[in-house]
């Protein structure tokens, strides 16, 4: 029978594994060529995977599994006909969802109906206890079926958003989220506080056995923290699994700390001139270009000028070699509900202030809407992060491997400074440059940051392309 494999494609030089976030087509469904059938997720972004041919889809990997590049996710039977599309998707037989020893046990467990003593014929047979996962309506996907059983929800309590009203895993998670406050309130009145907790998060602990079985399945792609208004009950705690993107962020940051010789140097910049420019020209700038004139475009321009003066900052280590980049792809860190990501502004040295601001706005919008692609995130040569938007006064940014340096912007704060032997109140910003000391010497790092400071304090050199 002709079959075509659906495999995990190569998504980038630094991507070795992905998570199958969800299937977009049910197991056994008929799919068209180039139709999106699966959603893959990495620590950076999500990407839809199209069917390589038309035919009947047969899953080989379940939702939520992490697999390596080249793994076969499914096979497509090209001899299948479109009639399969009109049938409800089949839920895999129970034997397929259980290990071999459980499968045999399941087959032996089928017994004739038994009538309980003292109950009339109208009472009907008493069914045997269901095996886990409990069978549910065929309108649920296999992942949703398991989640329904574990959460003790019926399909009638969930609104399906899939094709033909099919219930997906996301639908079940949404229903559970709506039910959580009531469940927590009820549980708090019947369960005693858990000893040994820190009391930092509301909600009682589930029994150990329930916690162990529910934790992997109940985690949505991104987990929201408990509401600020919730009151901790005694010394209770809440335990929740890390999302895939949070795990990957943790791994990458730890890898950065362990594989680089990170050092940070500091300086401060007087923001008076830039603030005055923005106040004077922002309205005209926005009318002409359709985007506001922000601080980030000035810093991108300043960084590019400093990178040209100190090429080693724009380089990276590759084994026993130093790779110099003769282009300037500047990453700008963006905070999203799913975590911190760094979309890249390509060839920033060729862009105007308006083009840089437009690129930043578009990338930030795509990131927050979940439309960012891997191509938007790969290949940066230097990164800028701005903790000042959250009020940070000073920080030591962590390197974004394989890059060798990162610039940290911070909050603008009025401070007393000496200007021409006079005390003056000026809007000041601390700047932090973290760098890999294996490649970059302290002299170069300090001079680079001084050059950035000079460009920020005298932006005419950026606008007029002056040395």
Annotated catalytic residues are 437, 441
- Under a CB-based contact definition with an 8 Å cutoff, are residues 448 and 306 in contact? yes
SS (HEC) of 171-188 = HHHHHHHHHHHHHHHHHH
Tokens 């106040």, residue? 279
Two tokens, residue 308: 């040209």
**431: part of which helix (H) or strand (E)?**
strand 422-436
User: What tokens does 218 get?
Assistant: 């109940």
Instruction: List, as own/partner pairs, every contact residues 105-113 make where C-beta atoms lie below 8 angstroms and the sequence separation is at least 24, other chains included.
Output: 106/131
Give 144's Cβ-side CA count (13 Å radius).
33
User: Who's near 197: CB < 8 A, 6+ residues apart?
Assistant: 205, 235, 236, 237
Q: How far is CA 306 from CA 26, 221, 297, 300, 378, in A?
A: 53, 39, 14, 10, 22
Helix (H, G, I), strand (E, B) or coil at 20: strand
**8 A C-beta contact, residue 13 and residue 378:** yes
Tell me how far the alpha carbon of residue 306 is from its chain's centroid: 31
Residue in 145, 178, 141, 147 with CA at minimum distance from that of residue 162 = 141
| Sequential DSSP letters for 309-373 | H-GGGGEEEETTEEEE-SS--EEE-EEETTEEE--EETTGGG--HHHHHHHHHHHHHHHHTT---
């Amino acid at each position: 029978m002709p079959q075509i494999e659906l495999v995990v494609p190569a998504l980038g030089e630094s991507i070795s594994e992905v998570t199958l976030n969800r299937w977009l087509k049910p197991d056994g469904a008929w799919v068209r060529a180039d139709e999106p059938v699966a959603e893959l997720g990495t620590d950076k972004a999500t990407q839809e995977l199209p069917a390589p041919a038309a035919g009947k889809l047969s899953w080989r990997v379940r939702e939520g599994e992490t697999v390596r590049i080249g793994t076969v996710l499914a096979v497509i039977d090209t001899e299948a006909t479109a009639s399969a599309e009109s049938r409800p998707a089949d839920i895999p037989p129970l034997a397929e969802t259980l290990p071999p020893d459980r499968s045999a046990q399941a087959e032996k467990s089928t017994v004739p109906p038994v009538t309980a003593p003292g109950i009339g014929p109208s009472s009907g047979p008493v069914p045997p206890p269901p095996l886990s996962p409990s069978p549910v309506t065929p309108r649920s996907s296999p992942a949703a079926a398991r989640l329904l059983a574990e959460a003790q929800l019926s399909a009638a309590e969930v609104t399906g958003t899939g094709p033909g009203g099919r219930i997906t895993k996301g639908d079940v998670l949404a229903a559970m989220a709506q039910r959580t406050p009531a469940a927590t309130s009820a549980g708090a009145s019947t369960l005693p506080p858990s000893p040994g907790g820190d009391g930092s998060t509301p909600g009682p602990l589930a029994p150990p056995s329930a916690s162990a079985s529910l934790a992997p399945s109940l985690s949505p792609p991104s987990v929201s923290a408990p509401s600020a208004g919730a009151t901790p009950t005694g010394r209770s705690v809440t335990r929740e699994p890390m999302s895939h993107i949070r795990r990957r962020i943790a791994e990458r940051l730890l890898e950065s700390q362990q594989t680089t010789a990170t050092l940070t140097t500091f300086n401060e910049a007087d923001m008076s001139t830039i603030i005055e420019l923005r106040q004077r020209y922002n309205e005209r700038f926005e009318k002409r270009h359709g985007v506001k004139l922000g601080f980030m475009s000035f810093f991108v321009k300043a960084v590019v000028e400093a990178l040209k003066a100190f090429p080693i900052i724009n380089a990276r280590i590759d084994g026993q070699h130093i790779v110099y980049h003769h282009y300037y792809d500047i990453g700008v860190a963006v905070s999203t509900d799913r975590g911190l990501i760094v979309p890249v502004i390509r060839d920033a040295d060729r862009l105007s202030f308006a083009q840089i601001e437009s690129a930043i706005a578009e990338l930030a919008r795509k990131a927050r809407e979940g439309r960012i692609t891997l191509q938007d995130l790969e290949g940066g040569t230097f990164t800028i992060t701005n903790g000042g938007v959250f009020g940070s006064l000073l920080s030591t940014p962590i390197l974004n491997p394989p890059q060798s340096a990162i610039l940290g912007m911070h909050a603008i704060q009025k401070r007393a400074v000496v200007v021409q032997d006079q005390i003056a109140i000026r809007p000041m910003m601390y700047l932090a440059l973290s760098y890999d000391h294996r490649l970059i010497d302290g002299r170069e790092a300090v001079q680079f940051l001084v050059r950035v400071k000079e460009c920020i304090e005298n932006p005419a050199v950026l606008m007029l392309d002056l040395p």
